[in-house]
Amino acid sequence: MTALASIPLRRIAAAIGDAAVRWCDADFPPRVRATGSIVERTGYSIPMVEFALDALFGELRSDTLLETALRELGDLEALDAPAARAYPLGRVAILSSRTTIGVAIPAMCFALAAKNDVLVKDREDALVAAFARTLCEELDDFANALEIAAWNGSREESRLQGASLIVVFGNDATIARVTAEHAGQARTIGFGSRTSLGYLDATTQSNPASLDAALAGAARDASLYEGEGCMSLHALFVERSVATDAREIAARFARAMENAATEFPVGERSAANRAGMLQARNLAAFRSAGGRGGAFCDDALTYLLLLDPPENEPPPFLPRTVAVLPIESPEEIARYVARHALPIECLGITGTGRRHTELASRIGAARLAPLGEMQRPPLQAHHGGRLRIAEYVRFLDIDGERE
Amino acid sequence: MSREREAEALDERLLAAIEAWHRHGRSLDDAEFDDLALAIFAHQLRYDTAYAAYCAGYGLSLTALPSTWREIPPLPARAYKEAAIAAFPIERADLVFESSGTTLGEPSRHYIEDRRLYDAALLAGFERAMLGDGARLRYLLLVPNPAQRPHSSLGYMMGRVATLFGDGETGWYLDEDRLLVDAFIADARDACDRGQPICLAATAFSLLHLVETLEEHGIILNLPVGSRLMETGGFKGRSRVVTRDELYARASRAFALPIERIVAEYGMSELCSQYYDRPNSEINIAGASHRIKCAPPWLRTRVLDERERDCPHGIVGALAHIDLANRSSCLAVLTEDLGAVVDGGIVLLGRESGAQLRGCSLDAEDLRRS
């Protein structure tokens, strides 16, 4: 029996939603404190952290949680006695390492909504712990259901004993290690390394206003979280068009990147990132001198666009650095993804259409989103292509009750 | 003056500078370094078309030359993968070195017009850094064998060193990628029995593999007094599996070798000259202890920030080397290595590996590997 077993789903969802509403207030003291800690941990600028917190808690609404539950479980009473048909797994552990901001929080909330006891490994900024305290203020029972802890290395992972499910956000090595260490004891769900791409079709380019709007969106998608999130834009494929050439688009994109840097100033960058960007810029300049492509950037290397790099080169996984690749058809995107074996989280597009859906499906993307919205996934979106709440329950089907 | 005459004249000046340091310890002062660097740069602008086109982007040409070596544009090392970087017709190359392919794609190719300059630079550097006592050693080499890998600069370098400074009983223990541990142990024991000091040269990965094998079998090789170990190559391009301190401590035990007898060499196929650890030098940079590496006088290094400005001493940035011995290719090379300038040399912090990606979850190393 878990601590939340007897609490109705609606009550849990309401408590989560109410706590999130308090965190939407930029002056809420715990949020103010967390913002400073996150800036210190990530090196991101304050406006970027504020954006992340607004996006995270703005989505975490009671109605959205219930909608997701209804969609995935088929019935809002499915988890509630006396007619329960879905049951908590028991204890769910959530590990997040090498992640951006608050990645563990939606997973934690869904696991709680499914009435599990939940252990979360927190980051150095203690954001999860701070939000957990607000949750407990909204509903006392969370205190018995939630354990938030911070630890380093794998030695202390004995505390994972007894978990039915371990959710790991991290690199491939971490996921493989945790999976191997707990094989036979707990199921593991890994959210490993993924990246995101954009596609600018010829139709969009024929209208300057649409083109600039799309590029402004792409700039936002590339700039947020300094390119460190799985939904960060790292390559923009530009369909060749009679209206504009790729060089002109890169120049317009560069202006959009400058504007994005005004809205979301650059924070602290590591020496490795700075060196990587310098190397990438100079290499692009060398190629340009030889007649291929070019580098678009400002003097401070706030951002860097690499026009027409060789297709055997993978996307540059560097802050605010995007490869701009002219293509004849979307077929080339699929070939590029296959060539570099890229696991794709999101494909950013303009407009809609079957062509886009087919492309997203072909490249294994988990999400198709308009350029500019890539970094704002809806709460109910299938992160990593997975169900949100159904992963945290076990269903009970009773044959005789079908009729 | 013809290209050949100009090249010859520059090489003679360089050879004289190398000889003066090698035999007499005479360094180059700032004016001498500037003078040579700018003369070589002008030569490269004239004859190295790919590099000259790149420099045009900096507004530099034969009519707009820099005023100091610090203004010479550093060419990214990866350019060597994509074009022939040479100030001479490459079909006349005396030596061609290829990178070991630590990053994606084609290996880089470094075309060298005249091996005399390359040999002079490497021998002077090695002798002063590794053979200050004039010892004639037996060379046991865990580096690519030139018979199998004729385009390995490391293999070439150690082959030349062993031929000139060795006892004639040189052993090579890398068969392609396979380490010949048994043969190494047998030869090392033979040298021990004869009291013949050894110079063991190994890449970091080979050394780790060897040490692990010796540890597994409980073997300690008590190398004769005067023996030494040159480690090179670091762990670039792969996940680091042990720290340098741990590797050296374990090697020190396995070979009964004082730790100060273990010296790291730092070079790359795109350069003709090498850095070596300065004896008994440790400095704390970026929260960790590092040995200081020092260069011969014709090799200087800038540490650059993202605006390509020089970082202050002790601040970590991208390493750009200005190697005058690269007369026939490109003298200024921007590496993918991180480091800092300190009093007496540089410290090397490893290789830039892209963003410190904290994705939910995006890890550059994973994605590059996938």
Would an 8 Å CB–CB cutoff place A308 in contact with chain B? no
**CB contact (8 A) between residue A279 and residue B76:** yes
SS3 content of chain B, % helix, strand, coil (to 5): 35, 25, 40
By C-alpha distance, which of B125, B355, B354 is closest to B232?
Answer: B125
* ipTM, 2 dp: 0.90
Residue B363 has pLDDT above 50, yes or no: no
**CB contact (8 A) between residue B78 and residue A279:** yes
pLDDT tens for each residue of B104-121: 567 889 999 999 999 999
CB A73 within 8 A of CB A24: no
By C-alpha distance, which of A381, A379, A380, A355 is closest to A367?
Answer: A381
Contacts of B94 (CB under 8 A, 6+ apart): B112, B113, B114, B115
The DSSP bridge pattern shows strands A86-88 and A393-395 to be antiparallel
Where are the domains positioned within chain B?
114-266
pLDDT tens per residue across all 403 residues of chain A: 899 999 999 999 999 999 999 999 999 999 999 999 999 999 999 999 999 999 999 999 999 999 999 999 998 989 998 888 899 999 999 998 767 888 899 999 999 999 999 999 888 889 999 999 999 999 999 999 999 988 776 666 677 888 999 999 888 888 888 899 888 889 999 988 889 999 999 999 989 999 999 999 999 999 999 998 899 999 999 999 887 899 999 999 999 999 999 999 999 999 999 999 999 999 999 999 999 999 999 999 999 999 999 988 999 999 999 999 999 999 999 999 999 999 999 999 998 778 899 999 999 999 999 999 999 999 988 888 899 999 999 998 888 765 4
pLDDT band at B365 (very low <50, low <70, confident <90, very high): very low
**CB contact (8 A) between residue B361 and residue A301:** no
B104: chain A residues, CB-CB within 8 Å: 312-314
CB B190 within 8 A of CB B217: no
Query: How far, in Å, CA of A54 to CA of A219, rounded?
Result: 19
Residue B354 has pLDDT above 50, yes or no: no
B361: chain A residues, CB-CB within 8 Å: 98-99, 103, 169-171, 191-194, 230
Task: Pull the structure tokens for residue B78.
Answer: 């990866």
A342: chain B residues, CB-CB within 8 Å: 367, 370
Residue B1's pLDDT is: 83
**CB contact (8 A) between residue B355 and residue A276:** yes
**CB contact (8 A) between residue A340 and residue B370:** yes
Domains of chain A: 9-193+381-401 (3.40.605.10), 195-365 (3.40.309.10)
Residue A155's pLDDT is: 60
| Among B55, B241, B308, B358, the residue to mutate for chain A (most A Cβ within 10 A) | B358
Cis status, amide bond into B361, omega within 30 of 0: yes
Q: What percentage of residues in chain B have a pLDDT greater than 90?
A: 81
Minimal-distance CA residue of chain B relative to A297: B307
Q: A 245-274 residues with CB below 8 A of B?
A: 269-274
Residue B353 has pLDDT above 60, yes or no: no
| Among A40, A127, A274, A383, the residue to mutate for chain B (most B Cβ within 10 A) | A274
Minimal-distance CA residue of chain A relative to B362: A193
Closest in A279, A310, A319 to B352, CB measured: A279
Residue B369's pLDDT is: 44
**CB contact (8 A) between residue A282 and residue B316:** no
Residue A98's pLDDT is: 66
By C-alpha distance, which of B328, B209, B311, B333 is closest to B266?
Answer: B333
Residue B280's pLDDT is: 83
Average pLDDT over residues B206-219: 94
Q: How far is CA B19 from CA B30, B39, B135, in A?
A: 18, 19, 20
**CB contact (8 A) between residue B363 and residue A342:** no
A282: chain B residues, CB-CB within 8 Å: 74-76, 334
Closest in A195, A226, A271 to B338, CB measured: A271
Residue A161's pLDDT is: 83
**CB contact (8 A) between residue A286 and residue B54:** yes
Query: How far, in Å, CA of B233 to CA of B228, rounded?
Result: 17
Closest in A100, A283, A285 to B360, CB measured: A100
By C-alpha distance, which of B316, B246, B244, B319 is closest to B286?
Answer: B316
**Is the Cα torsion angle A100, A105, A110, A115 positive or negative in sign?**
positive
CB A129 within 8 A of CB A155: no
Query: How far, in Å, CA of B27 to CA of B36, rounded?
Result: 13
Residue B286's pLDDT is: 81
Alpha-carbon gap: B203 to the closest alpha carbon of chain A (Å): 24
Residue B356's pLDDT is: 37
Q: How far is CA A400 from CA A76, B128, B273, in A?
A: 21, 88, 82
Q: A 171-190 residues with CB below 8 A of B?
A: 171-173
**CB contact (8 A) between residue B79 and residue A286:** yes
B286: chain A residues, CB-CB within 8 Å: 271
Residue B357 has pLDDT above 50, yes or no: no
pTM of the model: 0.90
Closest in A103, A273, A285 to B355, CB measured: A273
Helix (H) or strand (E) segment spanning residue B121: helix B115-130
| Among B58, B238, B336, B367, the residue to mutate for chain A (most A Cβ within 10 A) | B367
Residue B367 has pLDDT above 60, yes or no: no
Comparing B354 with B258, which gets the higher pLDDT?
A: B258
Residue B366's pLDDT is: 47
By C-alpha distance, which of A393, A365, A355, A32 is closest to A187?
Answer: A393
Query: How far, in Å, CA of A13 to CA of A77, rounded?
Result: 13
A232: chain B residues, CB-CB within 8 Å: 359, 362
**CB contact (8 A) between residue B368 and residue A314:** yes
**CB contact (8 A) between residue B76 and residue A274:** no
pLDDT tens for each residue of A108-161: 999 999 999 999 988 888 999 999 999 999 999 999 999 998 877 666 667 788
Would an 8 Å CB–CB cutoff place A322 in contact with chain B? no
pLDDT tens for each residue of B304-351: 999 999 999 999 999 999 999 999 999 999 998 999 999 999 999 876
pLDDT band at B243 (very low <50, low <70, confident <90, very high): confident
* CATH class, range B114-266: alpha beta
Cis status, amide bond into A82, omega within 30 of 0: yes
Average pLDDT over residues B191-211: 94
Residue B238's pLDDT is: 52
Alpha-carbon gap: B187 to the closest alpha carbon of chain A (Å): 39
Query: How far, in Å, CA of B128 to CA of A374, rounded?
Result: 58
By C-alpha distance, which of A133, A130, A112 is closest to A122?
Answer: A130
